[in-house]
Structures are given as C-alpha cells and as structure tokens.
C-alpha cells in the first residue's frame, strides 16, 4: 500500500532546494538548465520515491551514467559496476531498484537472491551484454577446451553461468594476469580484449586472449583524430578513457580506467581542462562533485542508461510490472554466482 500523502508547499520547497544544490551544476537531459522552478517540478516525485523506499525497505543503486536527478535525487549508492555489485551483495533490503542497465540488475539478483530486484525499464539493455548468449560461450569452450573463460561483467546471467570468473573494468588486468592458464577466452568485449593483450605484454605476462566480437556503442566511437584535435586546441589537457575504447585510443590517453577510477583520477589531478572519453554521466557527476574542473565536451550518451527516469523508478517501486521484475532460473543463478564470487575472491582490495 502506498501511504504517500501529497506534500505541503514547504516540503516541496525544501526538497527543491536540496535538489538544486546538486543539480545547479548540470543540464537537464533535455538540455535545459536546472533551476529552482525545474527542481520544484520534480520535487513531489523525489519525495514520493524517497517515502516509498522507506515504506518498502528498498534501496536504489545508481550507476554513474544515469541522469543526475536520479543519482542525487533518490539514489542510495552511486558508482561503477564493481562498487554496485558489492552493494547489492551487502544489501539488507527487501527491494533493490537498479537504475543502470538490465545485466547490472541481474547481477544484483544473483548476489541478493531473496530480494525483489526491479529495473525501471526492461529495454535498458547494453550492446555488449546483448552480443552473446550462453550457448555461444558453450560453443567457444568446445573449440578451446582447457581455456579459462573470463566474462566482463557486461554480460547476461546465462553467459556468467558458463564462465569461470567475472571481471569488471576496475580489476580486469590484475585478475587476468593472475590466472594460472595461458589461454583465456574473454567475452564479450573485443576492444577490451585488445587492451588486455597490450597490458599483458607491457607487464611481461604471457597470455593468449581469444575474444568474442562485442563492442560498446558508446566507447567504440571515440577516435585518435578527436584526441589529436583536442590536444591541439587545449594545451595542458588531460584525457581519460574507459577500457571499452579502442586500443588506438587507449594508447593516446593520460589515464585508462573504470568509471570510478576515472572520477578519482580527475579529482586527484590538477589540469586546466579534461576530456572524458566515456558516457556523459561522468562529466555530470564530476561537475557536481568537483565544480571547479573544466570539461571540454566530446563525451557520448548511452541511450540505455538514460532510460532510467524518476517516473519509471516511482512506478517500479510502487507497483512493478512483471517486465520490471528480475527473475532467474535457480540453477543458472547459482552457477553465475560462483563466477561472480570468484571475482570478489581474486579482485585486489582497495
């Protein structure tokens, strides 16, 4: 039962001011600037969502790429895939709303099987996760018996169930380097596989990396030309990128890392300008949390992450539709859990 009563004007005003303190530094997804009027418009919704969270003992996990009004308006935890997977595992909540993409919510369900895990929009896929099935992995394993199967966390539960160990962009190099077998089947990111090959070579670690053919629709688009042009125009520029970018791009940037690591790098360095070769949500987060830094544009939008609206989050919490609820076969979930738990065992502790 939703016991939310229409908020009084003074509650709306206080909530609008709370929202404005974060949102004043960024633009709405529509390109509009946040101001007290636009914050007043969404305040009843954020108040209702925060009320529903308490009523249902729910927690909202938000990936850094989702809209800032979601992260700062209603999110309980914000961060990269690894951090959010840890939070899902530790969650004592009855309900987990995952404002990210579907594979992340599946991971949360695998790690917190007793919780009701919901997604605001069932269509929030991911070009990497959607590029390969468990059946495809089984075929690869037949071609390369004895190889260790490493799946990047951006994959479906049935791919995880077929894999030996999961990795995220924050631990992929250390985990792959430490595996006992030379031959690694890496799915689903072809470009990240290129970056792993290069890193293993640089570390003097002898690995044979065989990959499937997925790519991220956001990160595959950044180019060496874009970097050269930006460096010409902005002296002293620091460029950061995600390991889902091409090896050519990775070679030319100042820092390569997960979304969480990229944020830390920017916060801990002092440069006149930054170019973020990643999803624009990271620029929004940094503009809020470190407003003195200058970003020169050039980031790209992930259409799937941007499907997470406040209205859909409210609906998923108040009365989720069957499409919004994550359900997984029990045996598949157990097998997928083993592969994720192995990552927690092998990942370097921060």
Query: At residue 127, what are phi and psi to the nearest 5 degrees?
Result: -65, -30
- Contacting residue, 258, 284, 287, 324, with ligand 13P by CB under 6 A: 258
Query: Cβ of residue 304: shortest distance to ligand SF4, in angstroms?
Result: 5
Q: Which does 81 bind (CB under 5 to 8 A by kind): ligand 13P, ligand SF4, none?
A: ligand 13P
By CB under 6 A, residue 246 contacts ligand 13P: no
By CB under 6 A, residue 48 contacts ligand 13P: no
Per-residue buried b or exposed e for 7-37, using 16+ beta carbons within 10 Å of the residue's own CB: beeeebeebbebbbebbebbeeeeeeebeee
Q: Which residue, 199 or 220, is less far from ligand SF4 as judged by CB?
A: 220
Residue 164 is given by DSSP the state S
Contacts of 206 (CB under 8 A, 6+ apart): 182, 200
Q: Which residue, 16 or 262, is less far from ligand 13P as judged by CB?
A: 262
d(CA 315, CA 74): 14
- If binding means CB under 6 A, how many residues of this protein chain bind ligand SF4? 13
Closest CA to 334 of 150, 94, 111, 105: 111
Q: Build a one-symbol-per-residue string for 104-143: x at contacts with ligand SF4 by CB under 6 A, - elsewhere.
A: ----------------------xxx---------------
By CB under 6 A, residue 284 contacts ligand 13P: no
Stretch 227-256 residues interacting with ligand SF4 (CB under 6 A): 244
Report long-range pairs for 130-135 (Cβ below 8 Å, ≥24 apart).
130/156, 131/188, 131/212, 131/213, 131/214, 131/215, 132/159, 132/187, 132/188, 132/212, 132/214, 133/158, 133/159, 134/158, 134/159, 134/161, 134/162
By CB under 6 A, residue 199 contacts ligand SF4: no
Which residue matches tokens 């609906």?
A: 315
By CB under 6 A, residue 279 contacts ligand SF4: yes
Query: Cβ of residue 303: shortest distance to ligand SF4, in angstroms?
Result: 8
Query: Cβ of residue 292: shortest distance to ligand SF4, in angstroms?
Result: 27
By CB under 6 A, residue 216 contacts ligand 13P: yes
By CB under 6 A, residue 195 contacts ligand SF4: no
Crossing angle for the helix pair 9-23 and 36-55, nearest 10 degrees?
A: 110
By CB under 6 A, residue 220 contacts ligand 13P: no
d(CA 350, CA 264): 13
- Contacting residue, 38, 46, 127, 154, with ligand 13P by CB under 6 A: 154
Q: Which does 127 bind (CB under 5 to 8 A by kind): ligand 13P, ligand SF4, none?
A: ligand SF4
By CB under 6 A, residue 168 contacts ligand 13P: yes
- Contacting residue, 12, 101, 150, 200, with ligand SF4 by CB under 6 A: 101
d(CA 62, CA 189): 23
Which residue matches tokens 């969270």?
A: 53
Contacts of 18 (CB under 8 A, 6+ apart): none
Name the residues that contact ligand SF4, by CB under 6 A. 101, 126-128, 154, 216-218, 244, 279, 302, 304-305
């Amino acid at each position: 039962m939703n016991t939310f009563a229409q908020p009084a004007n003074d509650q709306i005003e206080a909530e609008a001011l709370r929202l404005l303190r974060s949102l004043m530094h960024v633009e709405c997804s529509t390109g509009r600037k946040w101001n007290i009027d636009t914050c007043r418009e969404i305040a009843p919704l954020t108040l209702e969502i925060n009320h529903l969270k308490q009523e249902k003992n729910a927690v909202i996990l938000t990936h850094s790429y989702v809209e800032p009004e979601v992260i700062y308006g209603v999110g309980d935890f914000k961060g990269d895939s690894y951090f959010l997977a840890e939070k899902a595992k530790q969650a004592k909540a009855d309900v987990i709303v995952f404002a990210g993409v579907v594979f992340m919510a599946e991971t949360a369900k695998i790690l917190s099987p007793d919780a009701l895990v919901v997604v605001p929009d069932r269509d929030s896929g991911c070009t990497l996760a959607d590029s390969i099935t468990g059946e495809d992995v089984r075929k690869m394993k037949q071609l390369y018996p004895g190889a260790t199967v490493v799946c990047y966390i951006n994959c479906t539960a049935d791919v995880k169930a077929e894999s030996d160990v999961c990795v995220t962009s924050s631990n992929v190099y250390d985990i792959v380097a430490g595996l006992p077998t030379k031959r690694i089947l890496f799915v689903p990111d072809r470009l990240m596989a290129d970056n792993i090959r290069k890193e293993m070579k640089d570390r003097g670690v002898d690995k044979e990396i065989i990959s499937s053919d997925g790519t991220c629709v956001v990160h595959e688009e950044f180019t060496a030309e874009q970097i050269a042009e930006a460096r010409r125009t902005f002296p002293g520029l620091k460029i950061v990128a995600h390991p889902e970018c091409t090896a050519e791009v990775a070679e030319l940037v100042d820092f390569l890392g997960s979304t969480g690591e990229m944020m830390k790098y920017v916060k801990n360095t002092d440069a006149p300008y930054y170019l973020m070769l990643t999803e624009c949500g990271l620029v929004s987060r940094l503009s809020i949390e470190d407003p003195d830094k200058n970003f020169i544009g050039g980031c790209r939008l992930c259409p799937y992450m941007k499907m997470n609206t406040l209205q859909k989050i409210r609906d998923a919490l108040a009365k989720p539709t069957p499409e919004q609820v994550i359900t997984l076969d029990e045996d598949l979930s157990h097998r997928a859990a083993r592969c994720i738990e192995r990552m927690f065992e092998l990942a370097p502790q921060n």
